[in-house]
Amino acid sequence: VSGPLAGRNVLVTGAGGGLGRAIAVAAAAAGARLLLLGRTVHRLEAVHDAIVAAGGTAPILVPADLRTLDAALAQQIADAIGEQCGALHGLVHNAAVAGPRVPVRFHGDADWDAALAVNVSAPFRLTRALLPVLEAARGAVLLFVSADVARRPRAYWGAYAVSKAALEALATLLADELASTSDIRVNVVDPGALQSALRARLFPGDDVTALPPAEAPGAAIAALLAEPAAHGSRSVLALPAAAGR
Ligand SMILES: NC(=O)c1ccc[n+]([C@@H]2O[C@H](COP(=O)([O-])OP(=O)(O)OC[C@H]3O[C@@H](n4cnc5c(N)ncnc54)[C@H](OP(=O)(O)O)[C@@H]3O)[C@@H](O)[C@H]2O)c1
């Protein structure tokens, strides 16, 4: 498949639905071979089939639960990618979970632990294991999908806000470390409010269908894989009118 991402291998986490699916579909349309990571295999298979039906390169499925991903599983994933692909040109840390918005006083342990595990610890472990295969590619791109509560934490956003602030700190220090030691480019990207299961969980009373679908930010994020913003920068795809995410 020709396009700006032809010949490039791109791993997207949380690729089974929402924004992750939209990023994967757009990156495949731009020529990339996708590695679709997610915990629900039939959803990954549906994205695989949609990409193939659209004429894209058949993706590789990477079933994994990021809630329990440890160093050993991260290394297995990295080894398999090294063997099957040789190099990884793009890594998009998109998967995330959000609990219901509650005051800290009533925040549940399970929601707290899940957000920190999926939204921060898994990206850390995956990045650490995948750095060698990213370094094996020329000009690999490492994208961290964040949200504006990372920089503007406010009432009731709980572990989701804390986890996104930690994710941005991880991205920022990685950008600083890698600037002098590799040609991997690191960006944080905020897609803005969009229709998704995560959004519906955060705002159960709202009509999510009034929000933009995931396709537009998905395409914009896929474009960053071909022409990333300046190393270490933060791209905000949010429309000015999109508030309260
Ligand atoms: N929606 C918004 O308004 C909005 C705004 C700002 C930022 N964002 C960010 O955009 C990104 C995508 O969110 P979304 O709105 O597209 O949410 P979503 O539709 O809920 O998608 C989240 C994805 O993460 C995967 N995931 C969750 N837990 C996992 C686990 N334990 N192991 C593996 N995969 C797991 C899900 O897989 P399953 O299909 O298996 O559940 C799903 O594919 C997130 O980083 C989010 O913070 C979203």
Residue 30: count of CB within 10 angstroms of its CB: 21
Looking at per-residue pLDDT, the higher value among 67 and 235 belongs to 67
Angle at alpha carbon of residue 217, lines to 214 and 220, rounded to 5° = 145
Tokens, residue 197? 């299961």
Distance 94 CA to ligand 1 centre (A): 6
Pocket test for ligand 1, best of 21, 39, 40, 211 (most atoms within 8 A of CB): 39
Ligand 1 neighbourhood includes 97 CB (under 6 angstroms):
yes
Separation between Cα atoms, residue 243 and residue 1, nearest integer Å: 38
Q: Which atom of ligand 1 is nearest to the CA of 114?
A: 31
Place of tokens 């956003």: 157
pLDDT value for 233: 73
- pTM of the full structure: 0.95
Average pLDDT of every residue of the chain = 93
Ligand 1 neighbourhood includes 228 CB (under 6 angstroms):
no
* 42-56, 104-118, 158-172, 204-218: range with lowest mean pLDDT: 204-218
Report CA-CA distances (Å) from 68 to 44, 75, 117, 125, 156: 19, 14, 7, 11, 26
Ligand 1 neighbourhood includes 39 CB (under 6 angstroms):
yes
Looking at per-residue pLDDT, the higher value among 235 and 79 belongs to 79
The per-residue pLDDT for range 10-33, each reduced to its tens digit, is 999 999 999 999 999 999 999 999
Q: Which residues contact 121 (CB under 8 A, 6 or more apart)?
A: 69
Separation between Cα atoms, residue 108 and residue 158, nearest integer Å: 10
Q: Which atom of ligand 1 is nearest to the CA of 148?
A: 6
Separation between Cα atoms, residue 216 and residue 212, nearest integer Å: 8
Contact 115, 108 (CB under 8 A): no
Where does the pLDDT of residue 100 fall: very low under 50, low under 70, confident under 90, or very high at 90 and above? confident
Ligand 1 neighbourhood includes 19 CB (under 6 angstroms):
yes
Is the pLDDT reported for residue 240 higher than 50?
A: no
Contact 40, 25 (CB under 8 A): no
Is the pLDDT reported for residue 199 higher than 80?
A: yes
Q: Which atom of ligand 1 is nearest to the CA of 66?
A: 32
Pocket test for ligand 1, best of 11, 194, 198, 234 (most atoms within 8 A of CB): 198
* 152-156, 229-233, 234-238: range with lowest mean pLDDT: 234-238
Ligand 1 neighbourhood includes 16 CB (under 6 angstroms):
yes
Catalytic center residues:
160
